[in-house]
Each structure stands twice: as C-alpha cells, then as structure tokens.
Amino acid sequence: MKKIVCVGNALVDILFRIDSDEVLKNLGLPKGSMQLVDLASSDELLRQLASLPKSIASGGAAGNTARGLGKLGVPVSYIGKVQEDEFGKLYKSDMEKHGVQPCLLHGNQPTGRAIALISPDSERTFATCLGAAVEITEDDLTAETLCDVSVLMIEGYLVFNHSLMLKAGETAKACGVKVALDMASYNVVEANRDFLDDYIKKYVDIVFANEEEALALTGKREEEALMAIAEVCEIAVVKLGSRGSLVKRNGKMYKVESLKANSVDTTGAGDLYAAGFLYGLQKGLSPDACGRAGSILAANVIEVVGTTMDELRWKEIVKRVEELG
C-alpha cells in the first residue's frame, strides 16, 4: 500500500473548556474562528486562562489527520517544523505513538501552539501562535518527499504561504500524486478565496469543507456548494456536522448520515473525518463507504476532549471501519 503524506502546521494543542461564550467576547475572539496571534499574545492568553483546567496534545489539522490514519493502519508520514524544545519533543513522540512517521524539520522559533477554547455547545475557537511552524518553506518539499505516495494531504491553514502551496501542488502533479485539501476555517477561506479558487482548479483532486467553509468558498450552501466544488475537482466533500456529510464523485452525489454521539468537544472532528475518508480511498471503498468511515471517526472524537482517544475506543473504531469492506 502506498503511503499518504500530510503536511501542515505542527502545533501543540492546549485545550480549555469555558463555561460561557462571554469568555470569548472578553478575550476578543470570534466564536468558531481561528485567529493568528504572536507569541506575546499567546502567552498573555495562557496567563488569563491559567485558572482553568487544560489538556495538551500534538495537533494541527493535518497532524490530527495523520494520527487518525496511523491508528487505522495506513502508512503515513507527516511533514512539519518544530523547535527542539519541550513541545517539539512531545509532538514527535505523540506522532510516533500513533503510528505516524514524523518528518519534523527544525525551526528557530519555539514550537507552535494552538490555544483552543471549547464552548458549552462544544464549538471550539482557536488562538494560534504558529512559531516554528511558519518557517516551513517550499524548499522543504521535494520530489523525493512524494516517492511512492498516493495522496498528499494539505491543511488549509497553509494557504497563507502561497509559495509553499504552489510548490506542493506542482510537485504532486509532477509525481502523479493526488492532492487533498482541507479548507481549515471559514475566515481563512474568506481571506484567500481568489487564490483558493485558482489553486483548486489547477492542483486539487479532493476537497474537504464544512458548510461554513463551503459557503465562504462558493457563495452557495450545502448541495449547491457541493456541486460547485465538484465541478473543479474529482471528489468534493461538504461536512454538515450532526446532519452528516455530502460527497460527490463522478457526477454522483451521496448523502452520508452522521452517527449518534454525545458531543463534548468538536476539536478535530473534521480532521478525523478526513482520516476515515482517506482510509476508505486507500482501501478502494465506494464514496459513501468512505464517508461512513469518516463519520465513525468524527463521531468518536467529539465524545472526548481534544483529539486523543484511548486504545479501547480505537480498537472499536478499527473494527467498525474494517466492516465497511
């Protein structure tokens, strides 16, 4: 089986549960968004949130997808940039523990961190300090990187780095590797819509977007957004949260139901959905079965705080996705 390569911002997730959205207003963070902050602002946020319980784990959108793929037994590597500090060491060991081959490059700034604030309704809001992650450049991706690879999974947060995105797309196409792109966040899409429109048409085979991101990209909602995206790529996926997802491939649309879950934190739901979906593609499953695999992972991760699930839960997840075919 060829491997999947995921590339993204290597960030350590620092998760806080808040009891009211007033906390977000007081901190000046729009609910559900991802805001980029500098190191000083990140440190100040941590100071203001110090009284709240927290959990820490390796994260980043593509990193979460890579960890999910690793636990499903898919050969996968992850490319990102960290510093050799405490967070950088944690990131590497956590990736290896999840079956991922970490190709971590060394940066000069501290390892990036994403402060995630989890609202009572399970929605999450991010204040992200990229740190060393922002130092990844187009020179860090080569044809050798994509040797014997089936899919290059790119997280949408990298869209601010146009030169890296273009190098990734060009190299993948030259190597016959499919490109999958997760839209990341609606405000990221809004800020880069023109670039994304052109990029998807030229380079992307698989697009993952939630309903807000799909709206930001196309100006359309749900099925109409799916149709618009599917016109310019091989596989379009629009995730609808508790209402499931829509998938279109080869002119046919599939409606995939979500699974019942006790949602406590939506962090990583889309990332793990992508892991399940890509697992299905690697196994040659039908588009709707790929969507169901994604739903299984997403339904499980929202039942825990953060994106780290215990071995018992993963054993059940693997059993269920293997039963799909």
- Expressed as residue numbers, the domain containing 172 is 3-9+60-110+134-322
- pTM score: 0.91
Q: Tokens 């839960």 identify what position?
A: 313
DSSP 100-123: -EEEEEE-SSPEEEEEEEE-TTS-
Consecutive sets of 10 residues in the chain, 325 residues long: mean pLDDT of each? 94 92 93 89 94 89 97 97 94 96 95 93 90 94 92 95 96 97 91 96 98 96 97 97 96 95 89 98 97 98 92 97 93
Residue 16 within a domain: no
Q: Tokens 């609808």 identify what position?
A: 240
Residue 262 within a domain: yes
The beta-strand segments (E) located in the chain are: 3-7, 11-17, 34-36, 54-59, 76-82, 101-106, 111-118, 124-131, 149-155, 178-182, 206-210, 235-239, 245-249, 252-256
Residue 33 within a domain: no
**How much is the pLDDT for 244?**
96
Residue 103 φ then ψ, to 5°? -105, 75
Residue 258 within a domain: yes
Q: Tokens 């500090």 identify what position?
A: 85
Domain harbouring 81, CATH code: 3.40.1190.20
Residue 26 within a domain: no
Residue 228 within a domain: yes
To the nearest 10 degrees (0 to 180), the angle between helices 222-230 and 211-218 is 60
- Output the six-digit token pair for 67: 């960890």
* C-beta of residue 152 within 8 angstroms of C-beta of residue 173: no
Q: Is 234 helix (H, G, I), strand (E, B) or coil?
A: coil
Question: Domain count of the chain?
Answer: 1
Residue 118 within a domain: no
* C-beta of residue 197 within 8 angstroms of C-beta of residue 219: no
Residue 259 within a domain: yes
Rounding to the nearest 10 degrees, give the CA dihedral for residues 193, 15, 69, 275: -40
**How much is the pLDDT for 124?**
85
To the nearest 10 degrees (0 to 180), the angle between helices 193-203 and 162-174 is 10
**How much is the pLDDT for 4?**
98
**How much is the pLDDT for 57?**
86
* C-beta of residue 310 within 8 angstroms of C-beta of residue 279: no
